[in-house]
């Protein structure tokens, strides 16, 4: 992955050169570089330990690793754009949805001949979207028309990137309390830091759906969104790792710092216990 690392560094450095060191986006940019490497490593482990990925070709492995490393390549350009628009408008743009880093990354790689491969492009473009949205996209419909083996490889790499991305994020959230350092947390009022679940995130979580970022109002909602990633995990090994690393206990602990009703807390706990039981039997 030497050539790929050089390519990733090039995009990281372009952004680092344009953003002042004291800007929020400078650290965000550093974080995304480290995150890209973390996702590559998490994905490499899944490639080794996931039965569904046991018999893949050497070429599949190369394209999968490229998709893992490049999944957030659009983030560097996004950081430049957010920094520049904030400078012009004097307002925090970290939370707005104006930029689609998946699409920016897709366009970068489409114009880089060694990486213009549908298995990489599709994963980069859609790794961060809700699966319901992915399945409604024109690209998904095009992929469905391809020969089954080809479509299967494209989907397997998207699923691998989605799972590895979440595992890498969970590791940093737990080890470095990153949930309390990100852009969402920074804009919360003191009441929202300890407030209860809002209606929509709660409704989505108990309906076993991934919680939509745009509906989050409190820190408890944000934690619930991370817990809802269990519904998005594609490989059994990813689900097992979630519990082996005790991310359930860490996130429940975070919820205990919020004003959650005992019945809500118990209900979340029960969902996690049942989910865990279902993957162990
Ligand atoms: Fe991303």
Distance 30 CA to ligand 1 centre (A): 14
Q: In this structure, are 148 and 211 located in the same domain? A: no
Q: In this structure, are 14 and 134 located in the same domain? A: yes
Q: What's residue 228's pLDDT? A: 98
**CATH assignment at residue 109:** 1.10.3210
**Distance set, CA 165 to CA 35, 128, 144, 248 (Å):** 8, 9, 24, 17
Q: In this structure, are 165 and 212 located in the same domain? A: no
Q: In this structure, are 162 and 202 located in the same domain? A: no
Q: Which domain holds residue 47?
A: 2-169
What residues have CB less than 8 Å from 115, skipping those under 6 apart?
7, 66, 70, 109, 121
180 assigned to some structural domain: no
175 assigned to some structural domain: no
- Last residue within a domain, chosen from 134, 169, 204: 169
Q: What's residue 96's pLDDT? A: 63
pTM of the model: 0.94
128 assigned to some structural domain: yes
Distance 277 CA to ligand 1 centre (A): 30
How many structural domains is the chain composed of? 2
Distance 268 CA to ligand 1 centre (A): 27
Q: In this structure, are 93 and 230 located in the same domain? A: no
CB 162 within 8 A of CB 232: yes
Distance 263 CA to ligand 1 centre (A): 34
Distance 14 CA to ligand 1 centre (A): 18
Q: In this structure, are 160 and 218 located in the same domain? A: no
- Last residue within a domain, chosen from 169, 196, 230: 169
CB 115 within 8 A of CB 132: no
Q: In this structure, are 198 and 111 located in the same domain? A: no
Distance 74 CA to ligand 1 centre (A): 8
Q: What's residue 91's pLDDT? A: 63
163 assigned to some structural domain: yes
219 assigned to some structural domain: yes
Distance 127 CA to ligand 1 centre (A): 6
Distance 31 CA to ligand 1 centre (A): 12
Q: How many angstroms from the chain centroid is the CA of residue 51?
A: 22
What does the block give as tokens for 204? 């989505």
Q: What's residue 147's pLDDT? A: 98
What does the block give as tokens for 53? 């990925």
Q: In this structure, are 121 and 196 located in the same domain? A: no
Q: In this structure, are 149 and 207 located in the same domain? A: no
CB 227 within 8 A of CB 202: no
Q: In this structure, are 27 and 141 located in the same domain? A: yes
Contacts of residues 207-212 at CB distance under 8 Å and 24 or more positions apart, as own/partner, are 208/271, 210/130, 210/131, 212/130
181 assigned to some structural domain: no
Q: In this structure, are 239 and 131 located in the same domain? A: no
Distance 144 CA to ligand 1 centre (A): 24
Sign of the C-alpha dihedral, residues 229, 235, 239, 242? Answer: negative
* 281 residues of the chain, pLDDT tens digit each: 999 999 999 999 999 999 999 998 999 999 999 999 999 999 999 999 999 999 999 999 999 999 999 999 999 999 999 898 888 876 665 566 678 999 999 999 999 999 999 999 999 999 999 999 999 999 999 999 999 999 999 999 999 999 999 999 999 999 999 999 988 999 999 999 999 999 999 999 999 999 999 999 999 999 999 999 999 999 999 999 999 999 999 999 999 999 999 999 999 999 999 999 999 87
């Amino acid at each position: 992955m030497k050539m790929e690392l050089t390519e990733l560094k090039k995009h990281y450095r372009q952004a680092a050169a344009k953003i002042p060191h004291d800007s929020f986006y400078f650290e965000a940019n550093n974080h995304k570089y480290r995150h890209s490497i973390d996702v590559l490593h998490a994905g490499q482990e899944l490639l080794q330990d996931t039965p569904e990925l046991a018999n893949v070709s050497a070429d599949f492995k190369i394209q999968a690793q490229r998709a893992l490393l490049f999944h957030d390549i659009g983030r560097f350009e996004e950081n430049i754009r957010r920094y520049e628009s904030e400078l012009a408008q004097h307002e925090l743009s970290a939370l707005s949805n104006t930029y689609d880093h998946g699409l920016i990354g897709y366009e970068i790689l489409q114009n880089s001949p060694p990486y213009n491969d549908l298995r990489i492009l599709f994963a980069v473009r859609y790794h961060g979207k809700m699966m319901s949205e992915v399945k409604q996209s024109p690209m998904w419909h095009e992929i469905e028309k391809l020969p089954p083996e080809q479509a299967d490889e494209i989907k397997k790499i998207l699923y691998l990137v989605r799972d590895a991305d979440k595992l890498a994020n969970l590791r940093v959230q737990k080890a470095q309390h990153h949930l309390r350092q990100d852009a969402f947390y920074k804009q919360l009022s003191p009441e929202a830091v300890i407030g209860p679940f809002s209606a929509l995130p709660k409704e989505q979580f108990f309906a076993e759906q991934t919680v939509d970022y745009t509906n989050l109002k409190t820190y408890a909602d944000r934690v619930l969104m991370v817990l809802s990633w269990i519904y998005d995990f594609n490989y059994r090994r990813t689900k097992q790792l979630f519990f082996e690393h005790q991310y359930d206990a860490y996130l429940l602990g975070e919820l205990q710092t919020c004003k959650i009703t005992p019945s809500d807390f118990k209900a979340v706990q029960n969902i996690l216990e049942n989910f865990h039981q279902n993957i162990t039997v």
